[in-house]
């Protein structure tokens, strides 16, 4: 297992839609392990493969990280969210937007069908933090980011803030 660098906005690779997972072999298993280690080290409650520059329909979630409960890693390959119900406002963060937390409106309850790390299909109903995390991570697979859910004014502020930081980082290197 290895901790891998997480791409930060405005890295264009975050906008590349993920391709379906077809091979659940050793290379895929290694990627899932690397993603888990990277997410726990950050720490974060979710991480999508495109955030590591891997354009695949894959994300992981462990909301226990936030709730300080025993770890509960869930792997979602080729996920599909359906039956979105209700509306909820939650202050979200994203490992690709360091230091940023903004209110985002999401569905309150969702159902998702996906494959686990062994390719087994499953279906899940989710609410509360898990429902929010599912929608946030699923967006990453379509190249969609939390900034896209903000008002134009907030989008500009976040963009300016992180673009400046990226420029400073480039100078520092
Ligand atoms: Ni994110």
Confidence check: pLDDT of 166 > 90: no
pLDDT band per the 50, 70, 90 thresholds, residue 171: low
- Whole-number Å distance, alpha carbon 23 to ligand 1 midpoint, is 24
Confidence check: pLDDT of 119 > 90: yes
- Whole-number Å distance, alpha carbon 132 to ligand 1 midpoint, is 11
- Kindly report the average pLDDT of the chain as a whole number: 95
Distance from C-alpha of 39 to C-alpha of 42, rounded to nearest angstrom: 5
Residue 82 falls inside a structural domain: yes
Residue 5 falls inside a structural domain: no
- Cβ contacts of 120 within 8 Å, gap of 6 or more: none
Confidence check: pLDDT of 168 > 90: no
Residue 6 falls inside a structural domain: no
Question: Which residues surround the ion ligand 1 when the cut-off is CB under 5 Å?
Answer: 94
Q: How many whole angstroms from its chain centre is CA 127? A: 17
- Whole-number Å distance, alpha carbon 168 to ligand 1 midpoint, is 22
Compute the average pLDDT of residues 101-108: 97
- Whole-number Å distance, alpha carbon 119 to ligand 1 midpoint, is 23
Residues of the domain holding 134:
12-172
Residue 100 falls inside a structural domain: yes
Residue 7 falls inside a structural domain: no
Distance from C-alpha of 103 to C-alpha of 134, rounded to nearest angstrom: 16
Contact 162, 97 (CB under 8 A): yes
Residue 150 falls inside a structural domain: yes
Residue 1 falls inside a structural domain: no
Distance from C-alpha of 117 to C-alpha of 40, rounded to nearest angstrom: 18
What CATH number is given to the structural domain containing 122?
3.90.45.10
| Residues with catalytic roles | 137
Q: What is the pLDDT of residue 172?
A: 59
Confidence check: pLDDT of 76 > 90: yes
Distance from C-alpha of 64 to C-alpha of 71, rounded to nearest angstrom: 6
pLDDT band per the 50, 70, 90 thresholds, residue 78: very high
- Whole-number Å distance, alpha carbon 15 to ligand 1 midpoint, is 12
Confidence check: pLDDT of 34 > 90: yes
Residue 2 falls inside a structural domain: no
Compute the average pLDDT of residues 47-71: 90
Q: What is the pLDDT of residue 64?
A: 87
- pTM here is 0.94
- Give the other-Cβ count within 10 Å of 70's Cβ: 7
* Number of structural domains in the chain: 1
- The CA radius of gyration of the chain, in Å to the nearest whole number, is 16
46-48 vs 58-61, strand pairing mode: antiparallel
């Amino acid at each position: 297992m290895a901790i891998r660098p997480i791409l930060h906005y405005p890295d264009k690779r975050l906008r590349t839609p993920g391709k379906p997972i077809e091979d659940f072999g050793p290379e895929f298993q290694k990627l899932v392990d690397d993603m888990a280690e990277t997410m726990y080290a950050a720490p974060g409650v979710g991480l999508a493969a495109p955030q590591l520059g891997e354009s695949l329909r894959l994300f992981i979630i462990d909301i226990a990280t936030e709730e300080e409960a025993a770890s509960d890693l869930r792997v979602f390959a080729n996920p599909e969210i359906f039956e979105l119900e209700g509306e909820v406002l939650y202050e979200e963060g994203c490992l690709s937007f360091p230091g940023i937390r903004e209110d985002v409106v999401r569905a309150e309850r969702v159902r998702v069908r996906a494959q686990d790390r062994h390719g087994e299909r499953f279906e899940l109903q989710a609410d509360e933090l898990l429902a929010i995390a599912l929608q946030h991570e699923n967006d990453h697979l379509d190249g969609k980011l939390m900034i896209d859910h903000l008002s134009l004014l907030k989008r500009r502020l976040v963009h300016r803030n992180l673009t400046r930081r990226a420029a400073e980082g480039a100078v520092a290197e």
